[in-house]
Amino acid sequence: MMPSIDLTSNDARVLTALFDPESSPNSTPKTDASLPPYPSIASSTLSTLRALEASAIRPLNVPHPSAHAIQTAISALTDIINQEPTYASAYANRAQARRLALCDPLFAHENATEVEALFADLDACITHASPASPISPVSPHQVRLLAAAHTHRGYLLMKAATAAQESALLVGPVRARTKDELEEQASREFFLGGRYGDRTAREMSVRTNPYAKMCGAIVKEAMKKEREEFMGLNQGMH
């Protein structure tokens, strides 16, 4: 029988937190359904903005929207943002529309301007939707927006990491960053997306967590050494 490994209670907590983001006491934000989705926007104005937004993105709700439909949606969402710059949802939807407009490879030179704009929209959405403090309660609407925006940003960073593996990145806010740096940033974004309730982001956070990878390698090496020692001990007894 192989010898057992005794972990201290602190070691166990650290490993559990690495491989299970939900185990952290601060992993889930406090949601308060009584909070308004946009405290700084009057309810009558919000109703108008939502109607305009729904009209802007409706043509995109088809399997393959045309380039004209995408650009029309981007223009309409830009008008909404100009009317109310703190309306986070319009930034999130414009980011989605911009992504639809881009062809792969995403980080090609010809996409430089749009990639910059895409990341800027996600940044703006997160800025306007985030609570004043990490421990402040958030509305259900904020939770959905933050989950989507962080997950989208994580996805883009993972795409950038793949591109960086093949050649140096010269486009957008990911310019000149290494594959490892981008994967670490992506893991952080997936963690935040998962924190706000996105299940896929939560799974990706665990899979891309650099510390979890490091711990996994250490555990594998330790188990290999223990097996070798155990086999050597058994052979010595014969």
Say whether the peptide bond before residue 105 is cis (omega within 30 degrees of 0).
yes
Cα separation, 190 vs 159, whole angstroms: 13
Angle (CA) 148 146 168, round 5°:
65
Rg of the chain in Å (alpha carbons): 23
Cα separation, 185 vs 205, whole angstroms: 10
Domain residue extents for the chain: 44-237
Determine the distance from the C-alpha atom of residue 62 to the mean position of all C-alpha atoms in its chain, rounded to a whole number. 25
Q: Residue 167 carries which side chain, given as an amino acid letter?
A: S
pLDDT of residue 208: 82
Cα separation, 205 vs 182, whole angstroms: 13
pLDDT of residue 21: 47
pLDDT of residue 59: 95
pLDDT of residue 17: 46
48-51 own/partner pairs: CB under 8 Å, 24+ apart: 49/80, 49/83, 49/84, 49/87, 49/90, 50/89
pLDDT of residue 35: 95
Quote the tokens at residue 81: 């943002």
pLDDT digits (tens, 9 = 90+) for 166-188: 766 666 778 778 888 899 999 99
Say which CATH topology domain 44-237 has.
1.25.40
- Residue 28 half-sphere exposure toward CB, CA atoms < 13 A: 11
pTM (2 d.p.): 0.78
CA end-to-end span of the chain: 16
The tens place of each residue's pLDDT in the chain, 238 residues long, gives: 444 445 555 445 444 544 444 445 456 789 999 999 998 999 999 999 999 999 999 999 999 999 999 999 999 999 999 999 999 999 999 999 999 999 888 888 888 899 999 999 999 999 999 998 888 999 999 999 999 999 999 999 999 988 887 766 666 778 778 888 899 999 999 999 999 999 999 889 888 876 555 454 444 555 555 566 555 555 555 5
pLDDT of residue 178: 85
How many Cβ atoms are within 10 Å of 17's Cβ, its own excluded?
A: 16
